[in-house]
Structure 1
């Protein structure tokens, strides 16, 4: 009898056991949680805030809606969502990482912003079917082990007529810039991580994980296969990031 081969997946450019990837990812975000926002501002020159603002404008959030912010981490997206849904609505800030969730909770409470919190795995969302009007996920999907499973889970908990928005690093479409982009993200970014967060390895993983993430068309097809309709995407900053959108009709 042939022994069963253990399923593996990528952790950056390294192959690891699929069952261990979540643990490796957790170690990354536990290490960088308290300096995560500072690093985001530094490594994107603040542009990540414009990307997130565009995603929220694209969502067209209305007062009274129920929104799930997956991989919401430090809560910068949830804070804006909470203002839009108002006291009649609800925002659930969800993350698989307890440390990131705690940082987000503390920061939102300091600002007087009230949202709900849930430590969840995007592959197994513990919410009732047809629960949310909008699901947002910013810079989280590439860290998920089984992305198709997560997309299926999102579809289940989204209300009919609801939409999902996924903001994620993607494939640079401005080819002349690729050597400079690779130099910055693969060489300089880990140095910044060491300087600011005292953790070069975590930021090396984050740069590598971008290369292993599905490109724009592949993710679009994955969303369609999960059941989302009217799917589209918007490239931002030449495709460095893309916002994918889909509806449950």
Structure 2
């Protein structure tokens, strides 16, 4: 009998596969970070290897995405070398009914916001557990902070009504360090009635590089769900 975790994995695979179908030859594609985006990168590489696509170039949003793209045989480029990004495909930790997001579970939200924000279209790929009624329901807001400013930034986040906590590494001692060499503070808010305002106020704190609130950026949302024991993809 197929277990629940295996069904969730199959739903993520189905979303990743469908998202890869949105890519067309000649596109510059933002390659997202996370488990569902990883499946998209895998399937996009397979399309390239089969010859279904030509002249596709990827811009990774993290070291993880870069490694996966190279393994999949996807040619990579940089923001310095392209004039525009046609499509970005990335995951999310929470999605509210207005398609606002919390991202940053993989500590890559700064690069993700740059790439996803520059793309002509941003497709979000998630499983059904990431849909929430209100942002902050299940996931804190990640904030990338310059190490020298960590204490004053945490004080300022408390003044905004948050409960900040430095993200610590799981399989090594010490804090999580981003690809940019900074620290991550996860901030729990009792409620986030105005995500756009909170995003702006957090980013105005000196020492903050970027936060994980993505407001008004998402286009299509592809949701992987399990219905009657079978993985399904809902396009929203």
**TM over 0.5: same fold?**
no
From the two aligned structures, give the one with the greater helix fraction. 1
Q: Considering Cα pairs closer than 8 Å and 6+ residues apart, tell me whether 1 or 2 has the greater RCO.
A: 2
Q: TM-score, normalised by structure 1?
A: 0.39
